Chains A and B, each alone.
Chain A
Amino acid sequence: MPGTFHGINLASNALRAFQYGMDITGHNLSNVNTRGYTRQSIEFGANQPTTFWNGKQFALGQGASISSINRVRDQFLDARMLGAQGEMGRYESLASSIQQVEATFNEPGPNGIGAALDKFFNAFSGLASNPNAAGVRLEAQQAGQTLANRIRGTFQSLQEQQAVNKTQILQTIQEIDQLSNTIAAMNEEIRGFSASGGVPNDLMDQRDAAVESLGRLVNINTSPSSTGEVIVHFGGYPLVDSGGAHAIPSTFDETTFKLNDGTYDYPVRSGKLYGLFELSNKVTEYQTSLNTLANTLRTEVNTIHRSGLNPNGTTDIAFFTENAIPPQNGAIDFDLTALVKADVDNISTSVTGTAGDGGLALAISNLKGGSPLLGGKSYTRWYSDFIGGVGRDAATVADGLTTQSAVTQQVDAQRQSVVGVSIDEEMTQMLKFQKSYQAAAKVLSVFDQMTEDLIAMIR
């Protein structure tokens, strides 16, 4: 036979359980804006019944209490999100920088290298047609100067960009280490908590958010351990394991997309770090092209220019600066020679030395038509192919970012759909627990009344 106070106990258990339910709802509502927060759900379970004998055996329920508080999470979506974050990090770091890179070219328009090339060759065509006019000579000198300045200036901008890249790569490597440390520290706490039998939901949320941030920086894969920790690997290298965090190798080769710890190579395949490596390679590629352009102009123009005569009667003068012994330095020191800068009459225009002979200028102007050093293309064709390529690179990145944003949003939407807090839903829960609480309280007061009646009977 159950005790007299069985009902009071039962009702008070229910009250406590619903109180917890209300607490969890409150916790969910409070964290509606918390990044990385996973909504928690409370599970109730019926208490072990008590048995008694009354002619035969009966099981009498003892009410309810909470059986668990869970994080509502989907492992599959988490894994997809990690992959999406990697690509997102890659495109984000690429997109913002490559826009700056393409902007340094000032195309299309009159302020780019393309227009300067045209001006330069056209000026020599003018010089061929009017070789001893001071104004035309000045025009040729200025056109040469503008061309040299633009090629050199663009190259320098790219060089600055490259320096920024290097800094960013080093910073990213530091960030990776910081996040690894954070994750390892949280692992430690979670393990302690789990050992005492608890489930540290909020800690796990914070740790998972840190893992996701790490996934934005570099390609990682994760696996859970039996004690609730997460093991993080980067391309086979353990960043976080049960022994704690390990610093990522900081020796990098951005052309092969590899980090090296002295023994092994670890491939970088996504994340901000990958994006920065890619950008670095692109910028190097553009710089190489500008070097080709500068050196081709140097070699071709100077060879002809040296062979001719100028109004001062001198010969063997170079138009663009050059090293006496190849190789040439490329775009970095591309400029007019001091002689040509000092005096427009140092520009060679003639083969024979007579004032009206513009044959040499014509030969220089005709260089425009094509060069084996540019793969047989004309300067304009070569440059338009090049700038088209720069545009395509930037457009591909912009498209990639758009696509990847959509993918990430999609995955996020799916995950939010599982983990996110909905105010309306919590409101419903709140009403439910409120009503349940009221009902339990009512039950308690009825039992109380019954007990009262019993006592009054004795009196």
Chain B
Amino acid sequence: MYRISTNYQYGSYTQNIANTQQRYMQVQNQIGSGKRIQNPSDDPAGVASSVTMRSLKSASERYQGNLKVGEGVLNFSEEALADSSTLFRRAYQLAVSGANGALDQIGREGIVREITEMQKRLVSVANSHGPNNNYLFAGQMVDTLPFTQNNTDITYNGDTNPITVQTSPSETMQVNVNAGQMFVDAYATLESLKNNLQSGNTGAISGIDISALQNVMHQLDVERGGIGAKLQQVQTLQTDYQRRIDEFSQSISEVEDVDMASAITEYHLAETAYTAALNVASQGFRLSLMDFIRG
């Protein structure tokens, strides 16, 4: 056993108090801030994985954002194609009644006027804007008016390149519909119907135009089906990313944040240790041989 010098005795009280106090404050800080890691050195491996998980989380959030953009384009495209479908269902009805020999030329002229209006409407639908004010059906030439109407047909000014959104580090999804040729053909179908109605060629209407109209409607249905499938995929991916984001948040919190239950236990331990150190010191300070020497 050592000889204990007075300086050492008092020094060790001070040291013990300082040590326990430091631990006490540290736990208090952790609880107060809710953060277990305040500096990289608190847990170097934890910080490295937290940086990685934060990166994965923010990428997932971004892909979710991208999917939202894609979803907007898909929804707007679906609406435009739905409008076109409605339009062609009406054209089909008109063609059926136009093919009927009982209808006179005056009646057919009436239908022609409606078809002409319909053509204008079709061009307007084909030139519709997406949610970001881009033309929906221009390929990548989103700032060029895609369709211009001529005397007997329309011209497609866009391209056939895809509009894509990034959905994962290695994947992109095409969100636009390559409808340039389809709209040109659809317009031509109406033009042919109009010509045959004007010339009273009911045979050609029932022989060619009606099946051509059916074909257009079928194509529209196919495209809309494609959009529907993609919207579903977008939904799935979004849910998937949301789940991942939640998981990453959870993991980040597990690494960075204080586990309150154990922190509070530790807080009480630290408090007890601190109190004990203070107690021991105050007891020790009181003891001295001087108190026992008289005179």
Binding site for B on A (CB under 8 A): 32-33, 39, 98-99, 102-103, 105, 107-108, 112, 114-115, 117-119, 121-122, 125-126, 128-130, 132-133, 350, 352, 354-358, 362, 365-366, 368-369, 380-381, 383-385, 387-395, 397-398, 409, 412-414, 416-425, 427-428, 431
What are 11 residue pairs bridging A and B, where the CB atoms are less than 8 Å apart in the complex? A98-B41, A114-B51, A118-B55, A118-B58, A125-B62, A126-B65, A132-B134, A388-B48, A417-B3, A424-B289, A427-B290
- Asked if residues A108 and B51 are in contact (CB atoms below 8 Å), the reply is yes
Q: Give chain B residues whose Cβ lies under 8 Å from the Cβ of A350.
A: 140
B136-164: contact bitstring with A at CB < 8 Å (1 yes, 0 no)? 00111111100000000000000101011
A-binding segment of B99-107, B165-173, B190-198, B229-237: B165-173
Instruction: Decide: A417 and B2 in contact? CB cutoff 8 A.
Output: yes
Name the segment of B4-12, B119-127, B218-226, B271-279 touching the other chain. B4-12
Does B263 sit at the interface, judged by CB under 8 A?
no
Q: How far is the CA of A16 from the CA of B39 in the complex (A)?
A: 65
> Does the CB pair B39–A394 fall under 8 Å?
yes
Interface residues of B in 47-78 (CB under 8 A from A): 47-52, 54-55, 58-59, 61-63, 65-66, 69-70
Instruction: Kindly list chain A residues whose C-beta atoms are within 8 Å of the C-beta of B134.
Output: 132, 355-356
Contacts of B283 in A (CB 8 A): none
Using a CB–CB cutoff of 8 Å, the interface residues on chain B facing chain A are 2-9, 11-12, 15, 37, 39-52, 54-55, 58-59, 61-63, 65-66, 69-70, 132, 134, 138-144, 159, 161, 163-166, 169, 172, 176, 256, 288-290, 293
State the total of A-B contacts with C-beta under 8 angstroms.
Answer: 194
The one of B15, B55, B66 that contacts A126, using a Cβ cutoff of 8 Å: B66
Partner of A418, one of B3, B12, B69, B138: B3
Check A358/B54 contact, CB under 8 A, given A129-B69, A387-B48, A413-B2. no
Known: A108-B51, A395-B41. A32 touches B7 (CB 8 A): yes
Inter-chain contact B59/A129, CB cutoff 8 Å: no
Interface centre among A132, A357, A398 (most CB of B within 10 A): A357
- Contact (A125, B140) CB under 8 Å given A387-B47, A413-B2, A423-B288: no
A63 to B61, CA, bound (A): 96
Residues of B within 8 A of A427 (CB): 288-290, 293
Report the nearest B residue to A424, measured CB to CB.
Answer: B289
Which of A125, A388, A412, A421 is the one whose CB lies under 8 Å from B40?
Answer: A388
**A22 vs B65: C-alpha distance in the bound complex, in angstroms?**
87
Given B15, B46, B166, which contacts A362 in the complex, CB threshold below 8 Å?
B166
Q: In the complex, are the beta carbons of B39 and A352 less than 8 A apart?
A: no
Q: A108-B50, A356-B134, A421-B5 are in contact. Are A129 and B166 (CB under 8 A)?
A: yes
Q: A383 is contacted by which of B11, B51, B138 (Cβ under 8 Å)?
A: B51
Pairs A-B, 3 closest by C-beta atoms: A420-B5, A391-B40, A391-B44
B140 touches A357 (CB 8 A): yes
The smallest beta-carbon distance between B43 and chain A, in angstroms, is 7
Residue from the list A103, A385, A420 in contact with B48, Cβ < 8 A? A385
Known: A362-B164, A397-B41. 10 other contacts (CB 8 A): A99-B39, A115-B58, A129-B69, A129-B70, A355-B141, A391-B41, A391-B43, A398-B41, A417-B8, A419-B5
Q: How far is the CA of A128 from the CA of B70 in the complex (A)?
A: 11
Report B126 CB to chain A, min CB distance, Å.
16
Whole-angstrom CA separation of A413 from B11 in the bound complex:
10
Q: Which residue of B lies closest to A113 (CB)?
A: B51
Taken together as a complex, chains A and B put the C-alpha atoms of A427 and B291 apart, in Å, by 11
**Are B256 and A356 in contact, CB atoms less than 8 angstroms apart?**
no
Q: Is the CB of B3 within 8 A of A114?
A: no
User: What is the bound-complex CA distance between A414 and B12, given in angstroms?
Assistant: 13
**A108 and B289 contacting across the interface, CB-CB below 8 Å:** no
Q: Which residues of A sit under 8 angstroms from B172, Cβ to Cβ?
A: 128, 362
> CB within 8 A of A354: which of B12, B159, B256, B289?
B159
Contact for B58 among A122, A357, A409, CB less than 8 A: A122
Q: By the criterion CB–CB under 8 Å, are A102 and B140 in contact?
A: no
| A355-B141, A356-B139, A387-B48 known; A365+B166 contact, CB < 8 A | yes
A98 to B44, CA, bound (A): 14
* Chain A min CB distance to B133 (Å): 8
Q: How far is the CA of A129 from the CA of B67 in the complex (A)?
A: 9
Give the docked Cα–Cα distance between A80 and B243 (Å).
59
B160 to chain A, nearest CB (A): 11
Give chain B residues whose Cβ lies under 8 Å from the Cβ of A107: 40, 47, 51
Residues in chain B near residue A122, CB distance under 8 A: 58-59, 61-62
Residue numbers in A under 8 Å from B41 (CB-CB): 98-99, 102, 391-395, 397-398
* Least Cβ–Cβ distance between A383 and chain B, in angstroms: 6
Chain B residues within an 8 Å CB radius of A365: 166
Q: How far apart are B172's CB and chain A's nearest CB, in angstroms?
A: 7
Neighbouring A residues of B45 by C-beta, 8 Å = 388
Q: In the complex, what distance in Å separates the CA atom of A422 from the CA atom of B69?
A: 80
B2→A391 contact, CB < 8 A: no
Q: Which residues of B contact A362 (CB under 8 A)?
A: 164, 166, 172
* CB proximity of A238 to chain B, nearest CB, Å: 34
Contact between chains at A356 and B138 (CB < 8 Å): yes
- Which of these, A366, A383, A416, A421, contacts B169 with CB under 8 Å? A366
**Chain B residues in 8 Å Cβ range of A391:** 39-44, 47-48
Q: Which one of B54, B132, B164, B289 lies within 8 Å of A133 (CB-CB)?
A: B132
Contact A356 B140 (CB under 8 A): yes
Q: In the complex, A381 Cα to B3 Cα: how many Å?
A: 56
Most buried by A among B55, B142, B172, B293: B55
- Neighbouring B residues of A431 by C-beta, 8 Å: 293
Question: Which residues from B are CB-within-8-Å of A128?
Answer: 66, 164-166, 172
Contact A428–B289 (Cβ < 8 Å) = yes
- Is A352 touching B5 in the complex (CB atoms < 8 A)? no
